[in-house]
Amino acid sequence: MQHVLLGIAGSIGAILRYMISILFSTNQLLVFPFATVTVNLLGCFILGLLSSGLELMIKVEPKYLTAFKTGLIGSFTTFSTFSVEVIQLLQHNYYLYAVTYILVSAIFGLGFAALGLNLGKRLVERKRLL
């Protein structure tokens, strides 16, 4: 049953990522891969939020949390697309875009994960005080 849940959640995450890529691809002249940055930063934030202890307070079976975190968020975010897009930017001599993309992804990815963790911890503490 866990495999089925992971598959369903993974499909949902992939569809959501695809929809965001369509949303950002309305202007084909854009060189910078905003769609990939968006899904990866959002995924960092959500995973950080859930990994803060907040997931322990959510009244749902662990198999559903695993499906959400591993399946949905795992397929929603994409390191492989990030890697290929960096190489493509370099191949087309967009060096500044490539370096910016790497730095934005790494620095803001860590920042969004930390933001999610901190927000989650505050929510957990607030709930404990109530």
Per residue in 5-49, pLDDT tens? 999 999 999 999 999 999 988 666 678 999 999 999 999 999 999
Global pTM reads 0.90
Q: What is the 3-state secondary structure (H, E, C) of the chain?
A: CHHHHHHHHHHHHHHHHHHHHHHHCCCCCCCCCHHHHHHHHHHHHHHHHHHHHHHHHCCCCHHHHHHHHHHHHHHHCCHHHHHHHHHHHHHCCCHHHHHHHHHHHHHHHHHHHHHHHHHHHHHHHHHHHC
pLDDT at 77 over 90: yes
Residues in contact with 104: Cβ distance below 8 Å, sequence separation at least 6, in sequence order = 37
pLDDT at 81 over 80: yes
